[in-house]
Each structure stands twice: as structure tokens, then as C-alpha cells.
Amino acid sequence: MGRGDRREIRSRTEVLIAHLLKWEFQPAHRCHGWQASITEQRIWIGNIIKDSPSLRRYPSQVFDEAYRDALPVAVRETGLRKPHLPSEPPFTAKQALDGDFGRAARFQWTAFCEFKPAAFSC
């Protein structure tokens, strides 16, 4: 169970990071899908840690590595060039997992989801 849980935490952390980056660096494209995905990743990670408390430090331990892996995904999904995104995480693992992070300052949750061209998907 531990190895699978670690893989799951790592994978969901990568998705969380990529979507937080998209949220911050493409504010004109924000939508409920990104917000829902961010929330879903946090819930899954939290539930895994609740079931296996010994893994509570694991997200912080793999965060920098997960950021490096999430960065090319965010580049591909945003269409931005890599130099437009920070090479180092602009938030900590604790912030990324914090359900209130995203409602304040830079990562403001808003009710976006305006019409998007068919080629664009959240």
C-alpha cells in the first residue's frame, strides 16, 4: 500500500502544480475545470495522508522533483514558453495543498468560464 500511495501522491502533486501554474500564468483562461482539478488533487492527497499518516511529509519531500516534472506539462498545456514560467516553484508544498491558497492574492479563485474557442480546453 505504501508504494502505491507514494506514487499516487506524487502523480497528483504534479497535476496540482501544473494546474496552479496554469491558473496563475493564464488568468484569462481560468475556468471551473482547473479549479475543480486543483480541489480534487488536494482532496485525494489529503485522503491518502489521512489513511496513511506516515506519508504526511511525503508531498514536501517530492515537491521540488514534482515541480520539475510538472513544468513541461504546464508549458505544453499553456502554450507558453518555458522562460515565462518560473524554474523554481513560486509556492511551497504546504501552500499548494492548502485549500485556502488560491482564494487569496495571486491565485484568486474567480467565477471564470467564459466562452473559449473550440481548440482551447480547460
Give the rounded distance of the alpha carbon of 74 from its chain centre. Answer: 10
pLDDT above 80 (res 92): yes
Between 32 and 10, residue with greater pLDDT = 10
Average of pLDDT values for 82-94? 90
Give the rounded distance of the alpha carbon of 109 from its chain centre. Answer: 14
Q: Where residue 73 falls among pLDDT bands split at 50, 70, 90?
A: very high
Average of pLDDT values for 8-16? 97
In the chain, % of residues over pLDDT 90: 57
Return the pLDDT at 108.
47
φ, ψ of residue 110 in degrees (nearest 5): -140, 170
H or E element that contains 7 = helix 2-25
- Residue 95: closest CA among 29, 38, 36: 38
Return the pLDDT at 84.
86
The CA distance from 8 to 34, in Å, is 19
pLDDT tens for residues 35-70?
Answer: 899 999 999 999 999 999 999 999 999 999 999 999
Return the pLDDT at 99.
80
Q: How many C-beta neighbours within 10 Å does residue 21 have?
A: 24
